[in-house]
């Protein structure tokens, strides 16, 4: 038997190593297999025996231990083993827990790191939000700060109109016939030099104003006791007649908006001017006899081209119309139409006057309601006497003073030259309005500098007058209709859109082609302009696809410029199409914050715009609260995304409208229809295609052209076969062809329509005469008259174009069915014509518009590239703002911006080699400057510097280093450095330009003001606000003085003729309309500060109204109120008090207790009482003003708070502080609820409360209130010094950051 110790596994055996708890950490092994029990016991006994001291070695089992002891030992070993196993498992669990703990710790650290990052991100977002908030507040302050600029600009505008109208009225009074007629009526005529003292002064301020800045505005204020401030709403001037316009009246506020509304209202006193006043064509209609035909031929051959060049340089066409031969004379209707369209009519007489010309002479000279220029050339011979008819006609015309006379004795060559000289003067002075520009040039003594580019005077804004002219004519054309078509139900829906609360998406006006969408929108615009003069309406009528009017970039640019024009701001405007699209909503927001009425944007036929959804995406963005958008589309072509907008669908015409429209056309032509014919028409016009407005109009015109009943039946049968507008147009065209006498005329008709159809924007009559030399004036006039009468052609910006898309489509189907070859041939004819113009160095706006577009349509990239490198073509496109169009051409030829810039520069270098002489070098410098500006607008600043520097070098060399054009180059170069953030270089260049301009023009010239403004802007960018403000004040004073000598040419001509018409009107019989006109003339003179003449007209208006309407009529109260305002201006307070009291008495009896006009009179009389020291009389009127405003606006409206403050200030002046305290507290609560706790009005009211508390002895409360007021004031000052925004409420009101003192608060104001 072996010993028990032999059962222990050797050290290298397989087992699990565990940690020995008792043996100091030594390793031991646990057998994997369990040994037999007997052997295990023996081994155990042997170990036990060996371990006992004195034990017997080798004793037998029976002799040494009992069986129980062995069992205990075995149990002990088993328990010990189990314990070891348990201990190992627990240690393993602990190790696992330790690992988990480490993992959780790592996860915790990671989460804490992410949390820290999230916290930092949120913190940064919070800081960004705060920064955005502060920036918004800064923008708000800037908008409010800019308000002062608007007021200053208004003074310039106002004084300009003063000077213009005074000059016009002075010229009219100098006419002897006019003086005799006025004196016969017993009217005293004032000499403007005596009555208008402003003619000889250089700085005009409103009476009582404290400085040249108009500190009134939306928050005017009135002097009050101590440091008290009385808040007033905007002061008002004389009001207009309630019978014609809104109760507020266009003269409710004395600012530029009201002046515009005043002019618009004056234009509506009698019928508007005809198309000839606004036409882009100078039409010279010549009436001549056989005896004077030689002078006519010499004039047309030698002098007509010279006049054409003069007109072309001003952007006008020149057209001579002369029906020489008897057999070529067109119908009387055509001649009458030509006379109506003409700008000037020339009659050439010698000894006799044929009877066939007598009616033409009477139409042109004796029936000339618009007083357009007329000229009579009478060639006399010694010993020969003119016929009786000639003498009688000349005497009649002379007695009416209707024409200029040329009595010529001599040869026909000299006579033709005299006619040319006189016509040239008429065109320049009376038609194109160049007289003032030339006078300026004479003053400077430098003819070259007499005409300043428009963008130089009005900033770098590039304005295309032709685009604006086209829209004006499109609006007039769209509003023409022979009868009303039952649009009242649609007007109500459009009115609901304007009155609906914001936000609201655009309104979609939909309908089929020819359904009357344009007519509806134009009629509604007229109604809005009449009844809501404070509403700003921006409209755009899109013409034919691919025409200029359908180019999205030009539309956005035009609308942006209209916004800038209305806000009276001239600031740099990007021409980059993408940036322009981004900036338009900002300009809209800016103007909406300033404008106190609604802004309505109307775009007709928006679906005709190229890529409308892409370029009109601003429509889907939230609009400012006072902005509404209306767009019209054809049902078939409306983009899918827009169909979700609110839609106003035009229904087909009902039978009543169809009948009235056809009857109106027939009655106009004295054509009678039978009952049977009317029934047939009613049955025919029942489908959607045959009962739209355009189809029915064409149907009526077609029937009206028929004279006898038999032909009417035949015509009706032909019309009934036409089931749509295009087929009806085709029938009309064929009827016109049948009326022509020869195949030659029919061929010319085809040529004219096809050439117009393939052109970009149309073709002018003068261009047609040059394209087709065989085309005589008589034939052209007859064809155009027929096509215009039947709604095929119309005029737009002096060009003949299709009146409707259906007419264009009909011409394509009728004449161009053969395909692209026909279109290419006609386009090639236009290409050759305009290319010939370029070869003759005749680069006009027409060649720049048509030629690149024609090459683009033909796909001829090589010729397009060559055309674009004609520097004068590109210069013309750029200066007219057709930036996007120019870029699209370059993209078509595959050139990017940098390549284009390099090619232009290389082309200029080549052109420079051929330049010789001073004139050509000056022209070269202009081209370099244009290129530099173009590249600057593209953002290629580094490439823009080189051409601008070259322009500067050429001008310094060719002219003189101190020449004004050098200053112009310096100015443009400095502008590049400003954008480049190189302010030091820019400042140096601006200062050099300023010095040159002051030396050349004097210190008070507009160009000096321009440099001062540029420097001020530069200093503002550098945060040098004090220096900037000083320069702006100096610039303002210069512009204020210069504005009296400078005016808008178009407005000058318009107001000139209109003022003469109105003055003629005042001599007629007593009627309410004439009384209204007299009142408006008085208001016009009042706005000029010509108070004496204003008093004359206002008195005559009052007398006429009292005779016609009775002394208690509300219109008499209006005249009394206006006279009172005038006497208050003259400081005749007793007279003003008497008139105000009479006006108040009438209005109290005639008007509702809360009527705005009553509130105006109450307020003005109350302020007058206070000014005169009659405080007891003023109190009940101030209390009544509070009551009226509460009824009108509700008890929590800011207007009520303003009235409460005014009443509280009055109580303070009367030492009734106890009555004033609750009024101030109530006003403070209203202001805080309406505007927030940091609004300037809250601060002003707190300051007044602080003064009240101080005077009451509550010094602690006064200090607390004053501290709050100063905190608001400091915040306001901080914002103004930066750049802050207008607090524009949801109701569309705009509130000023400043409350300026203005003692003149007697002018009426309107509702807030």
Cα dihedral value 794, 799, 800, 806, nearest 10:
-70
Q: What is the largest CA-CA distance in the chain?
A: 190
Burial of residue 563 (CB within 10 Å: 0-12, 13-18, 19+) is buried
For residue 884, the surrounding DSSP H or E stretch is: helix 883-892
Q: How do residues 502-516 score in pLDDT, each as one tens digit?
A: 778 888 999 888 888
Tell me what pLDDT residue 1282 has: 43
- Rounded Cα distance between 560 and 567, Å, is 11
Beta-carbon neighbour count of residue 349 at 10 Å? 25
- Rounded Cα distance between 1203 and 1198, Å, is 9
Tell me the average pLDDT across 810-823: 87
* Locus of tokens 């009786």: 388
Burial of residue 605 (CB within 10 Å: 0-12, 13-18, 19+) is buried
Strand, helix or coil for residue 1267: helix
Strand, helix or coil for residue 922: helix
- Rounded Cα distance between 884 and 557, Å, is 10
Q: Which long-range contacts (CB under 8 A, 24 or more apart) does 2-8 make?
A: 3/42, 3/43, 3/46, 4/39, 4/40, 4/41, 4/42, 4/43, 4/44, 4/45, 4/46, 4/47, 5/43, 5/46, 5/47, 6/43, 7/35, 7/39, 7/40, 7/43, 8/43
Tell me what pLDDT residue 416 has: 93
Tell me the average pLDDT across 732-752: 91
Q: Does residue 928 contact residue 948 with C-beta atoms inside 8 Å?
A: yes
Q: pLDDT grade, residue 484 (50/70/90)?
A: low
Closest CA to 1104 of 1144, 1075, 1125: 1075
Burial of residue 240 (CB within 10 Å: 0-12, 13-18, 19+) is buried
Pairing of strands 1287-1288, 793-796: unpaired
**CA 778 to each of CA 151, 208, 311, 734: distance values in angstroms, whole numbers, following the listed order:** 54, 63, 23, 21
Query: What secondary structure letter does DSSP report for 605?
Result: T
Tell me what pLDDT residue 709 has: 53
Tell me the average pLDDT across 1122-1135: 88
Sign of CA dihedral 541, 543, 548, 553: positive
Beta-carbon neighbour count of residue 798 at 10 Å? 26
pLDDT at 990 over 60: yes
Q: pLDDT grade, residue 640 (50/70/90)?
A: confident
Peptide bond into 971 cis (omega under 30): no
Tell me the average pLDDT across 440-448: 38
Closest CA to 216 of 1307, 1310, 1311: 1307
- Of 642 and 736, the structure prediction assigns the larger pLDDT to 736
Q: What pTM does this model have?
A: 0.62
Q: Report the Cα–Cα distance between both ends of the chain, in Å, rounded.
A: 125
- Rounded Cα distance between 282 and 277, Å, is 10
Tell me the average pLDDT across 322-332: 70
- Rounded Cα distance between 841 and 923, Å, is 13
pLDDT at 1085 over 60: yes
Instruction: Quickly list H helices, 427-464.
Output: 435-444, 454-457
Tell me the average pLDDT across 297-302: 92
Q: pLDDT grade, residue 267 (50/70/90)?
A: very low
> Within its chain, how far is the Cα of 852 from the centroid?
28
Tell me the average pLDDT across 323-352: 83
Q: How do residues 846-880 score in pLDDT, each as one tens digit?
A: 899 899 999 999 999 999 999 998 888 888 888 88
Strand, helix or coil for residue 603: strand
Q: Does residue 475 contact residue 483 with C-beta atoms inside 8 Å?
A: no
For residue 290, the surrounding DSSP H or E stretch is: none
Closest CA to 1045 of 153, 162, 149, 151: 162
Strand, helix or coil for residue 803: coil
Query: What secondary structure letter does DSSP report for 761?
Result: S
Give me the residues paired with residue 1295 across strands.
1287
Q: pLDDT grade, residue 937 (50/70/90)?
A: confident
Closest CA to 242 of 1155, 1199, 1203: 1155
Tell me what pLDDT residue 245 has: 26
Give me the residues paired with residue 628 across strands.
600
Tell me the average pLDDT across 486-502: 83
In percent, the amount of the chain with pLDDT more than 70 equals: 75
Q: How do residues 746-785 score in pLDDT, each as one tens digit?
A: 999 999 999 999 999 899 999 999 999 999 888 999 999 9
Tell me what pLDDT residue 205 has: 30
Query: Taking all residues of the chain, what is their mean pLDDT, rounded to a whole number?
Result: 76
* Locus of tokens 């006008």: 316
Helices H / strands E in the chain, number of each: 53, 19
pLDDT at 1010 over 90: no
Question: What angle do helix axes 332-341 and 777-789 make, rounded to 10 degrees?
Answer: 90
Tell me what pLDDT residue 42 has: 45
Strand, helix or coil for residue 770: helix
The alpha carbons of the chain give a radius of gyration, in whole angstroms, of 44
Tell me what pLDDT residue 433 has: 64
- Rounded Cα distance between 967 and 974, Å, is 10
**CA 985 to each of CA 178, 949, 989: distance values in angstroms, whole numbers, following the listed order:** 60, 13, 6
- Rounded Cα distance between 732 and 719, Å, is 9
Beta-carbon neighbour count of residue 177 at 10 Å? 11
Query: What secondary structure letter does DSSP report for 632?
Result: E
For residue 23, the surrounding DSSP H or E stretch is: none
Q: How do residues 779-804 score in pLDDT, each as one tens digit?
A: 999 999 999 999 999 988 889 999 99
Strand, helix or coil for residue 2: coil
Pairing of strands 374-379, 344-349: parallel
- Rounded Cα distance between 267 and 421, Å, is 32
Closest CA to 684 of 724, 714, 649: 724
Tell me what pLDDT residue 1176 has: 86
Q: How do residues 53-87 score in pLDDT, each as one tens digit?
A: 444 444 444 444 577 888 898 889 889 888 988 89
* Locus of tokens 């009613």: 682
- Rounded Cα distance between 1158 and 471, Å, is 40
Tell me what pLDDT residue 1233 has: 85
Tell me what pLDDT residue 47 has: 46
- Of 1073 and 1031, the structure prediction assigns the larger pLDDT to 1031
Give me the residues paired with residue 723 across strands.
none
Tally of residues, the chain: 1312
Tell me what pLDDT residue 853 has: 93
Least confident stretch, 92-101, 456-465, 535-544, 920-929: 456-465
- 3-class secondary structure for 351-377? CCCCHHHHHHHHHHHHCCCCCCCEEEE
* Locus of tokens 């910006």: 797
Q: Token digits for 937?
A: 């607008």
Sign of CA dihedral 1087, 1093, 1098, 1104: negative
Pairing of strands 220-223, 229-232: antiparallel
Q: How do residues 161-195 score in pLDDT, each as one tens digit?
A: 666 676 666 666 566 555 555 455 444 343 333 33
Q: How do residues 713-729 score in pLDDT, each as one tens digit?
A: 888 888 989 989 999 99
- Rounded Cα distance between 394 and 402, Å, is 10
Give me the residues paired with residue 222 across strands.
230
Tell me the average pLDDT across 313-329: 78
């Amino acid at each position: 038997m072996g010993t028990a110790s032999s059962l222990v596994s050797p050290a290298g055996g397989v087992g699990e190593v565990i940690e020995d708890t008792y043996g100091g950490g030594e390793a031991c092994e646990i057998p994997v297999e369990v040994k037999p029990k007997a052997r295990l016991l023996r081994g155990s006994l042997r170990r036990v025996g060996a371990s006992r001291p004195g034990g017997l070695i080798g004793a037998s089992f029976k002799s040494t231990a009992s069986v129980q002891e062995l069992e205990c030992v075995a149990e002990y070993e088993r328990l010990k083993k189990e314990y070891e196993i348990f201990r190992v498992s627990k240690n393993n669990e602990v190790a696992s827990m330790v690992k988990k703990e480490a993992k959780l710790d790592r996860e915790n650290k990671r989460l804490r790191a992410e949390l820290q990052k999230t916290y930092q991100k949120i913190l940064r977002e919070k800081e960004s939000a705060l920064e955005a908030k502060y920036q918004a507040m800064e923008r708000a302050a800037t908008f409010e700060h800019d308000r002062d600029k608007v007021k200053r600009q208004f003074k310039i505008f106002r004084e300009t109109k003063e000077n213009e109208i005074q000059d016009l009225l002075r010229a009219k009074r100098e006419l002897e016939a006019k003086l005799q007629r006025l004196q016969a009526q017993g009217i005293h005529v004032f000499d403007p030099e005596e009555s208008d003292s402003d003619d000889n002064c250089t700085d005009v301020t409103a009476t009582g104003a404290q400085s040249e800045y108009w500190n009134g505005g939306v928050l005017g204020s009135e002097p009050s006791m101590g440091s008290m401030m009385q808040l007033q709403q905007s002061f008002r001037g004389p009001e207009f007649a309630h019978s014609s316009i809104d109760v507020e009246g266009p003269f409710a506020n004395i600012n530029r908006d009201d002046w515009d509304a005043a002019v618009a209202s004056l234009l509506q006193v009698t019928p508007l001017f005809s198309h000839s006043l606004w036409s882009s064509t100078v039409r010279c209609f010549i009436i001549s006899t056989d005896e004077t035909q030689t002078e006519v031929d010499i004039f047309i051959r030698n002098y007509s081209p010279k006049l054409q060049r003069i007109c072309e340089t001003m952007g006008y066409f020149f057209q001579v119309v002369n029906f020489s031969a008897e057999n070529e004379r067109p119908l009387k209707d055509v001649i009458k139409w030509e006379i109506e369209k003409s700008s000037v009519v020339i009659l050439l007489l010698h000894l006799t006057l044929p009877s066939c010309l007598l009616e033409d002479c009477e139409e042109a000279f004796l029936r000339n309601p618009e007083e357009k220029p007329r000229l009579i050339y009478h060639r006399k011979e010694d010993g020969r006497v003119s016929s009786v008819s000639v003498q009688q006609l000349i005497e009649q015309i002379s007695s009416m003073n209707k024409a200029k006379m040329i009595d010529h004795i001599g040869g026909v060559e000299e006579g033709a030259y005299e006619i040319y000289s006189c016509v040239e003067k008429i065109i320049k002075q009376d038609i194109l309005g160049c007289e003032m520009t030339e006078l300026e040039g004479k003053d400077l003594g430098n003819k070259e500098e007499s005409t300043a580019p428009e963008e130089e005077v009005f900033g770098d804004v590039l304005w295309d007058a032709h685009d604006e002219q086209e829209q004006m004519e499109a609006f007039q054309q769209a509003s023409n209709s022979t009868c009303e078509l039952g649009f009242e139900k649609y007007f109500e829906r459009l009115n609901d859109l304007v009155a609906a609360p914001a936000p609201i998406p655009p309104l979609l006006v939909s309908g089929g082609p020819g359904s009357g969408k344009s007519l509806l929108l134009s009629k509604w615009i007229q109604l809005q302009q009449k009844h809501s003069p404070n509403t700003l309406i921006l409209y755009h009528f899109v013409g034919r696809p691919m025409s200029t009017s359908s180019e999205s970039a030009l539309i956005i640019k035009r609308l942006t410029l209209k916004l800038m024009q209305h806000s009276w701001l001239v600031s740099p405007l990007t021409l980059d199409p993408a940036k322009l699209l981004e900036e338009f909503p900002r300009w809209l927001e800016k103007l909406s914050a300033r404008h106190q009425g609604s802004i309505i944007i109307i775009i007709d036929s928006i679906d005709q715009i190229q890529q409308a959804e892409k370029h009109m995406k601003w429509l889907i963005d939230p609009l400012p609260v006072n902005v509404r958008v209306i767009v019209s589309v054809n049902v078939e072509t409306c983009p899918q995304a827009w169909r979700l907008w609110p839609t106003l669908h035009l229904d087909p015409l009902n039978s009543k409208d169809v009948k009235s429209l056809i009857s109106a056309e027939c009655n106009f032509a004295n054509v009678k229809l039978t009952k049977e014919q009317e029934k047939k028409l009613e049955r025919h016009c029942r489908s959607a295609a045959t009962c739209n407005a355009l189809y029915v109009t064409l149907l009526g015109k077609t029937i009206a052209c028929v004279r006898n009943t038999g032909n009417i039946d035949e015509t009706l049968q032909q019309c009934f076969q036409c089931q749509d507008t295009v087929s009806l147009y085709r029938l009309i065209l064929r009827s016109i062809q049948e009326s022509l006498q020869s195949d030659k005329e029919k061929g010319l008709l085809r040529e004219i329509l096809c050439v117009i159809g393939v052109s970009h924007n149309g073709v002018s009559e003068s261009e047609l005469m040059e394209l087709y030399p065989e085309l005589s004036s008589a034939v052209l006039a007859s064809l155009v008259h027929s096509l215009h009468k039947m709604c095929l052609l119309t005029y737009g910006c002096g060009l003949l174009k299709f009146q409707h898309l259906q007419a264009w489509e009909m011409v394509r189907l009728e004449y161009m069915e053969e395909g692209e070859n026909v279109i290419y041939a006609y386009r090639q004819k236009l290409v050759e014509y305009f290319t010939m113009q370029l070869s003759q160095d005749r680069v006009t706006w027409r060649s720049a518009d048509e030629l690149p577009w024609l090459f683009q349509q033909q796909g001829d990239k090589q010729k397009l590239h060559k055309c674009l490198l004609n520097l004068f073509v590109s210069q013309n496109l750029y200066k007219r703002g057709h930036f996007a169009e120019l870029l699209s051409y370059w993209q078509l030829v595959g050139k990017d911006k940098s390549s284009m810039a390099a090619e232009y520069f290389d082309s200029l270098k080549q052109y420079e080699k051929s330049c010789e002489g001073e004139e050509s070098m000056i022209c070269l410098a202009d081209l370099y400057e244009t290129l530099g500006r173009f590249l600057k607008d593209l953002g290629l600043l580094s490439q823009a510097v080189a051409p601008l520097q070259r322009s500067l070098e050429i001008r310094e060399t060719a002219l003189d280093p101190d020449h004004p054009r050098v200053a112009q180059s310096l100015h443009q170069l400095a502008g590049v450095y400003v954008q480049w953030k190189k302010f030091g270089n820019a400042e140096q260049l601006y200062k050099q330009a300023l010095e040159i301009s002051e030396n050349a023009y004097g210190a008070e010239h507009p160009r000096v003001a321009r440099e001062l403004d540029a420097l001020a802007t530069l200093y503002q960018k550098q945060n040098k606000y004090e220096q900037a403000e000083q320069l702006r004040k100096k610039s303002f004073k210069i512009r204020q003085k210069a504005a009296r000598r400078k005016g808008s040419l178009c407005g000058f001509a318009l107001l000139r003729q209109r003022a003469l018409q109105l003055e003629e009107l005042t001599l007629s019989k007593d009627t309410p309309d004439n009384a209204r006109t007299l009142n408006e003339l008085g208001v016009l003179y009042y706005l000029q500060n010509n108070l004496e003449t204003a008093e004359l007209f206002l008195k005559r208006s009052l007398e006429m109204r009292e005779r016609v309407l009775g002394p208690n009529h509300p219109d008499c109260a209006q005249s009394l109120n206006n006279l009172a305002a005038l006497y208050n201006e003259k400081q005749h307070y007793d007279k003003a008090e008497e008139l105000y009291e009479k006006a108040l008495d009438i209005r109290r009896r005639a008007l509702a207790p809360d009527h705005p006009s009553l509130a105006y009179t109450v307020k003005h009389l109350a302020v007058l009482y206070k000014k005169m020291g009659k405080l007891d009389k003023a109190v009940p009127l101030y209390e009544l003003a509070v009551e009226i405003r509460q009824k009108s606006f509700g008890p929590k409206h800011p207007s009520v708070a303003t009235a409460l403050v005014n009443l509280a200030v009055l109580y303070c002046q009367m030492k009734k502080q106890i009555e004033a305290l609750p009024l101030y507290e109530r006003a403070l609560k209203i202001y805080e609820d309406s505007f927030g706790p940091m609004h300037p009005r809250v601060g002003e009211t707190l300051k007044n409360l602080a003064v009240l508390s101080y005077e009451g002895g509550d010094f602690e409360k006064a200090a607390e209130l004053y501290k709050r007021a100063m905190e608001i004031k400091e915040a306001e000052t901080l914002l103004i010094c930066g750049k802050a925004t207008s607090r524009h409420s949801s109701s569309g009101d705009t509130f000023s950051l400043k409350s300026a003192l203005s003692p003149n608060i007697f002018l009426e104001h309107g509702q807030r």
